[in-house]
Chains A and B, each alone.
Chain A
Amino acid sequence: MYKFSIEEELVVKSLRDFVENEVKPAVPEIEKTNEIPKKLWERCVELGLIGVSFPEKYGGMGMHGMMDKVVLEEIAKECPALALAIDAHHLATRAIQQLGSKAQKETYLSKMVYGELVGASAATDPAGCGVYAETKPIGTFTEKGILLNCTKVFITNSSFADIFVVNGMIDGNYCMVLVDKNAEGLLFGGNMVDHKMGMHGSGTGTVRLNNVLVPMSNLLAPDEPFDPANAFTFCGCYLDISAIALGIAESAYKKSKDYLMARIRNGKPMAGMPVIAKNLALMKGKVEMMRNMVVNTTEIVETEPSPLLIHATKALVTEMACDVTEMAIKVYGGAGYMEETGIARYHRDAICCTIGENPTDVHLEQVALQLGLPVEGTQPMFPICGDRYDR
């Protein structure tokens, strides 16, 4: 099991201080306005939380990949939407880190790792699917550059992003193209921001590109056709959202326990009622299973690709977060169903985690493919790496 160094323990401590004293008080306003205050993002930047695990040469903190997950988990305990915004930003940032040219890295990467520029990954088509080969065309190559015409939906950070990484097919190849927020013909924000059941504030919305012309130098991996099956750009975000789900579940459990320890029935805490105690024990057990899975997979993928574990972690951890948060509402009783107690929010946010970054069923299908099962009608997102536990 991963053991924190003194340095990492201090980061966790500082993070908890930030979440308790600065993030938590901002949540009611975020829920009301559906906007994350700019100041809160700037505080994340000041504290160095955005690029904790990115290399120092790009302005990151160079810490172990585990610390990215810890940052998201801790922030998600109080404000999953802020954690989700960081996750979406990471997705765009990692694309440039892994596939960007020297010039693209010089222009964007340090500012994004630091958090000065906010990124968004625009990948989902209106008729979305989890298979890259079926992604719709986003534009064409012309003599003047890349002419983009497409609509992308459910784009997290769309309302406040500075740079969009637009994903899709161009001339039969899967491409990623950088589009600045000020590009002519790019439409986002305003009434294109979605009204969601949860994750309020993460700025999810539609992005339209109407004849947006960008130079060829905005194409990621320009020297060779980009094969998503050979890039693990998306791996990080699957574990990121798993860490967010873990934080949500952990907080829902903790709040339920505190609430039921303080609720007195016949002179005794309700947490001691056998039926409640059993459910709290079950919630905690699931949280710890989730933690083991997130930690174990994060540790393994630092050194070896393991698509099976990544897909399984994303699918199971996020579903478990739904179970735990639903149980939290139930053990709260009537109060759990009231908005004022703030516990129902966790369930709504947890459901988002089972759908965002590809739904559970897509991930389970990918697990099946990694296991070598003859699944029809789909193809692996990543190369088949097999089952390291099949002994």
Chain B
Amino acid sequence: MAIRIVVCVKPVPANTNVTIDPVTKTVRREAGESVISTLDKNALDLASQLKKSINCEVTVISMAPASAEINIREALARGGDKAIILSDRAFAGGDTFATGYVLSQGIKAMGGCDLVLMGSASDDGGTGQLAAQLGEWLGIRHLHNALSLTVEGENLLVTTVADKQLCTWRCAVPAVVSVNRAISKPGPVPVRNIIMASRKELKVWSADDLPGLDKDFVGLRNSPTQNGELYPLETGRAGVIVEGSADELAESILDKIASAGIQL
């Protein structure tokens, strides 16, 4: 029996010129071109690689406006077999808690799955919380920031990275796994795949198509995360001079980067 893989895909604004709605304090999504969030492409690429070695079916799922069809068609060209867009005005502005809930309802409505993949964080929000939220809503295991993933019989073998520590997990399915950018190198999509994608099934489901959905958990109004004040970040240069040998300098710079909370 084919393993059922779901890849969660988030359309995000295409360029860095992101604007915020001053009233709702959420990213304006209605205007401009959108693209698939970078790390979600890695998740799609991984699913596409898995298809070469195991019998599986890949469903792309996305909570997005119906206008995101171009992004979802691209996801289908990148390895998806079919796709579902969860689109309803009631879902708009939801935080990761609300989004995880809607996605979990979508996955349940499609009959569940064995493995959910997604990027470890999105290009715009970048919270990195969705995999955990979705795993909890579905009541299944969740692993984060995976560097590699293989299927061994009934289990997944997943290597994750956190705070410079590598952990290898043997994990039974079903599970949610978010992936690191190092897991694959998504490249340009062959024209043939794009043409095939236009012939694949793409459904648009509204709130009414999700039988168990409780509307009190969806959208901006029901999101526990409410943005506070927004203001432009003033940036400047600290101008620290580091001295020492080349090795010492390298070590010192790496420490500073790590202490700033940046993972390399």
B partners with A: yes
Residues on A facing B (Cβ under 8 Å): 6-7, 9-11, 13-15, 17-18, 21-22, 46-49, 52, 61-63
Q: Are B187 and A48 in contact (CB under 8 A)?
A: no
Contact B70 A14 (CB under 8 A): no
Q: Kindly provide the distance from the CB of B253 to the nearest chain A CB, expressed in whole angstroms.
A: 27
Q: Can you offer 27 A-B residue contacts whose CB atoms are under 8 A?
A: A6-B69, A6-B70, A7-B195, A7-B197, A7-B198, A9-B70, A10-B70, A10-B73, A10-B194, A11-B194, A14-B188, A14-B191, A14-B194, A15-B188, A18-B187, A18-B188, A21-B187, A21-B188, A22-B187, A22-B188, A47-B189, A47-B191, A48-B190, A49-B191, A61-B191, A62-B195, A63-B195
- Cβ of B85 < 8 Å from any Cβ of A? no
Quick one: closest B residue to A61, CB to CB?
B191
Closest 9 CB pairs of A and B: A48-B191, A18-B188, A17-B188, A14-B188, A14-B189, A10-B194, A7-B198, A47-B190, A61-B191
| Contact among A9, A11, A17, A61 for B187, CB-based, below 8 A | A17
Q: Mark B160-204, 1 if CB is under 8 A from A, else 0.
A: 000000000000000000000000000111111011011000000
B74→A13 contact, CB < 8 A: yes
Question: Cβ of A61: which chain B residues have Cβ within 8 Å of it?
Answer: 191-192, 195
Residue-by-residue, is B125-161 near A (CB-CB < 8 Å gives 1, otherwise 0)?
Answer: 0000000000000000000000000000000000000
Measured between alpha carbons, how far is A166 from B205 in the docked complex, in Å? Answer: 58
On chain B, the residues within 8 Å of A14 by CB distance are: 188-191, 194
**In the complex, A48 Cα to B195 Cα: how many Å?**
11
CB neighbours of B189 from chain A (8 A): 10, 14, 47
Greatest chain A CB density within 10 A among B73, B74, B190, B194 is at B194
Beyond A21-B188, A61-B191, 10 additional contacts (C-beta under 8 Å) are A6-B69, A7-B194, A9-B70, A10-B197, A14-B189, A14-B191, A21-B187, A22-B188, A48-B190, A61-B195
Give residues in B with beta carbon < 8 Å to A: 69-70, 73-74, 77, 187-192, 194-195, 197-198
CB distance from A50 to the nearest CB of B (A): 10
Contact B188 A10 (CB under 8 A): no
Q: State in angstroms the CA–CA spacing of A62 and B199 once bound together.
A: 14
Q: Within the complex, what minimum Cβ distance (angstroms) separates A51 from chain B?
A: 9
Complex: A18 Cα to B73 Cα, angstroms: 18
> Separation in Å of the B256 CB from the closest CB of chain A?
28
- On whether the beta carbons of B70 and A47 are closer than 8 Å, the reply is no
> What residues of chain A lie closer than 8 Å to B70, measured between beta carbons?
6, 9-10
A47's nearest neighbour on chain B, judged by CB, is: B190
Tell me, in angstroms, the Cα distance from A21 to B41 when the chains sit together.
16
Known: A6-B69, A10-B70. A47 touches B195 (CB 8 A): no
Docked CA distance A22–B189 (Å): 13
Does A47 contact B188, Cβ atoms closer than 8 Å? yes
Max chain A C-beta neighbours (<10 A), residue from B77, B187, B188, B191: B191
Selected contact of A6 from candidates B187, B188, B198, CB within 8 Å: B198
Complex Cα distance A38/B152, Å? Answer: 38
A17–B188 Cα distance when bound, in Å, is: 6
Determine the distance from Cα of A99 to Cα of B69 in the docked complex, in whole angstroms. 41
Structural contact, A10 and B190, CB atoms closer than 8 A: no
List residues of chain B with CB within 8 A of the CB of A21: 187-188
Query: In the complex, what residues of B have CB within 8 A of residue A63's CB?
Result: 191, 195
Contacts of B198 in A (CB 8 A): 6-7
Write out the residue numbers on chain B whose beta carbons fall within 8 Å of the beta carbon of A22.
187-188
Residues from chain B with Cβ under 8 Å of A18 in the complex: 187-188
Contacts of A52 in B (CB 8 A): 191
Provide the bound-state CA to CA distance between A61 and B189, in Å.
14
In angstroms, Cα B77 to Cα A13, docked, is 12
Tell me the smallest distance from the CB of A86 to a CB of chain B, in Å.
Answer: 14
Distance (whole angstroms) from the CB of B194 to the closest CB of chain A: 5
- The CA of A7 and the CA of B191, in the complex, are separated in Å by 9
Given the complex of chains A and B, what is the CA–CA distance between A197 and B79 in angstroms? 44
Does the CB pair B188–A48 fall under 8 Å?
no
Find the B residue at minimum CB distance from A18. Answer: B188
- Which residues from A are CB-within-8-Å of B195? 7, 61-63
Q: Is the CB of B187 within 8 A of A10?
A: no
Min CB distance A320 to B, Å, is: 28
CA A11 to CA B187, docked complex, whole Å: 13
Contacts of B77 on A, CB cut-off 8 Å?
A: 10
How many Å from the CB of A73 to the closest CB on chain B?
Answer: 15
Using CB atoms, name the residue of chain A closest to B199: A7
Q: In the bound complex, what is the Cα–Cα distance between A21 and B69 (angstroms)?
A: 25
Q: How far is the CA of A143 from the CA of B260 in the complex (A)?
A: 83
A48 touches B192 (CB 8 A): yes
Across the two chains, which residue of chain A brings its CB closest to B74?
Answer: A10
A336 to chain B, nearest CB (A): 28
* C-alpha gap A63/B195 in the complex (Å): 9
Whether B69 contacts A11 by the Cβ 8 Å rule is no
A47 to B70, CA, bound (A): 19
The interface centre, meaning the residue of B77, B188, B194, B198 with most chain A CB atoms within 10 A of its CB, is: B188
